[in-house]
Amino acid sequence: MKRGTLGNVIFVIFLMINERIHCTSLTEGNGTAAKNIDGKILLNLGRKLNKPMLTLLGMAIRNLEYRHPCDDWTQWSDCGAVKEGYIATRKRTRTCEINPPSLEQGNRTTETDITICEGFCPKDYNITANGFCVKLYVSRKTFDDAEKQCSEDGGHVMNIDSELKNGDVQKVLQGFGSYVHIDGRRKDSSSAWMAMNGSQKRFFNWNSGEPDSYLCIMMHPSNSYWYDSTCTSNRPFLCEITQ
């Protein structure tokens, strides 16, 4: 038994002796099994029997029950700084019971944690209108070699997972005339498309009649449509770095 728990038990016994209250009277007075007695029950019983020390004990135990009354922290918000070398702040929040809590109902408040963060987008990368950190490599590589290069930069071949991002990429590629590797791969023609971060892809912008039977994805800048492609084809590629 922990020292704090043992001290609480001794304190309870001491109070019960002083107040001449037996466990049987607690259970009979409230119709509650002893194992289910908590601070609220003791508090109400103390008031009902006009026992100040029992009331105080109930309040103390109730407060102990709320010693850690907070939900988990949310995920950190995006950093206000995007470009590498700049700093800003980010925050996270959690909801907590007010301590000591209201005896009638749990009053809740929101706590905010703020920290300094540094921009994540390298200087040789572009930041799109909607804050995506992107770089076009015009050197031609297979998909695996392209992913290796992006990984060395701290990112992946670009995972286009929304219409918003697809539109930003089209602007980045404006004036460029070659197909480029983008993220998306499958084991065979009947398997699901997966992103390099391990998630299953949900957004697609296939051209009419696509995909066929190839296992990787390429995009053409002129229309922003996607086409399946051989993974071993040497093509320019897009890298993306995320927070």
Q: What is the pLDDT of residues 170-184, one digit of tens each?
A: 999 999 999 999 999
pLDDT mean over 191-210:
96
Q: How far apart are CA 82 and CA 119, in angstroms?
A: 4
**127: part of which helix (H) or strand (E)?**
strand 126-127
How far apart CA 100 and CA 63 sit, in angstroms, is 6
Give Dmax over CA atoms of the chain in angstroms: 91
More confidently predicted of 16 and 159: 159
Long-range (24+ apart) CB contacts under 8 A made by 63-67 are 63/39, 63/99, 63/100, 63/101, 64/8, 64/39, 65/38, 65/39, 66/97, 66/99, 66/100, 66/101, 67/99
Q: What is the 3-state secondary structure (H, E, C) of 82-114?
A: CECCCEEEEEEEEEEECCCCCCCCCCEEEEEEE
pLDDT band of 10, cuts 50, 70, 90 = very low
212-233 confidence digits (pLDDT tens):
999 999 999 988 999 999 999 9
* Closest alpha carbon to 140 in 61, 236, 7: 236
Sequence-distant (6+) residues with CB within 8 A of 223 are 207
pLDDT of residue 100: 54
Which residues is 115 bridged to in the sheet? 90
Collapsing DSSP to helix, strand or coil, 195 comes out as coil
Query: With pLDDT > 70 as the criterion, what percentage of the chain qualifies?
Result: 77
Structure token digits, residue 127: 């930041």
- Whole-number mean pLDDT of the chain? 82
The mean pLDDT of 37-44, rounded to a whole number, is: 72
Given a contact cutoff of 8 angstroms between Cβ atoms, the answer to whether 144 and 104 are in contact is no
Bridge partner residues of 121 (DSSP):
83
H and E: helices and strands count for the chain: 6, 9
Question: What does the pLDDT read at residue 2?
Answer: 43
- Per-residue pLDDT of 45-74, as tens digits, reads 778 888 777 777 777 776 665 555 788 889
Task: Please say if the pLDDT value at position 89 is more than 60.
Answer: yes
> What integer pLDDT is reported at residue 229 of this predicted model?
97
Integer Cα distance of 38 and 58 in angstroms: 8
Q: What three-state secondary structure class fits 5?
A: helix
Q: Which amino acid is at 225?
A: Y
Q: What's the pLDDT score for residue 22?
A: 53
